Amino acid sequence: LVSFFLTVTRSLCCRARFMRLLFPFSHPQTSSCCIMSVIADLDAEADNLIQAGIAKATQRAYDAHWNRFVAAASRFGFASSLPLPVKTVTRYLAHLYSSGASQSTGTQARAALRYVHLVQGLRDPTSDYRVTQLMKGWGKQAPTQPDLRKPITTAVLRKLLNALPAVASSPHEVTLFRAAWTLAYHCLLRPGELTTTSEIDRECRLNLEDVVLHRAGYRIRLTSTKTSTKPVSLLVKPCLASGCPV
């Protein structure tokens, strides 16, 4: 019994010394304020990490879908406070369907509503059986249309490059388009990884400072991609194929 009390006493003393190291304040109120400040910083850091876990393009798409939902909720009188009732979700998806939206748009809208709930630790109404069945019915009533887009082959790229002098306004513009097209083709870049239509997303596009000459060609640095929020480096080498980017 004596041994037990000695062990407990040593443990409490060690814990007291540890707390004094973390919070070297004698006044209880001061220590409480320090603890709250540390907790607030940790919460902010956790929120930053959660946001970093999703691609910026996906975040922008979710934000756009959420804004459309809020507008529709205001227009039709849907409940928009979180967590959303399942009926609100099904009504909104039915609204999209009746407005002629594609099934992929409905799928993206559902994913956006799901994200808004999960990121706040709320119950996800989009996983309800009725929502799942609604999306299945949407697919049967409006079958997915085949993708009519064709891949860019070397022959197609060659035709595009040959047509540039006839449609560009200057030799300088020909050079710009040629550099962009050949780089995107040979590096398998998505449009959003190469350029953007908004000054807000300047950090997402390829800038001059992201291109560095290399003895084997040149190296480009992508600040972010669709599948990664971390910078990606690619080495572009000369090739014998038509439209060499180097």
Residue with the two structure tokens 């000369």? 238
118: pLDDT confidence band, cut at 50, 70 and 90? very high
* DSSP structural state of residue 84: P
Which one, of 176, 90, 169, lies nearest residue 126 by Cα?
90
Q: What confidence tens digit (pLDDT) does each residue in 149-195 have?
A: 788 888 888 898 889 999 888 999 988 889 888 888 888 888 777 87
* CA-to-CA separations, 114 to 45, 89, 122, 228, in angstroms, rounded: 23, 10, 9, 21
Which one, of 79, 85, 95, lies nearest residue 126 by Cα?
85
CA–CA gap between residue 87 and residue 209 (Å, rounded): 50
Question: Which of 28-32, 101-105, 123-127 tops mean pLDDT?
Answer: 123-127
> What pLDDT score does 71 carry?
94
Residue with the two structure tokens 């040959």? 162
pTM over 0.85: no
Average pLDDT, the chain: 81
The DSSP line for 128-189 is SHHHHHHHHHHHHHSPPPP-------HHHHHHHHHHHHHH-SSHHHHHHHHHHHHHHHHHT-
Q: How many residues does the chain have?
A: 246
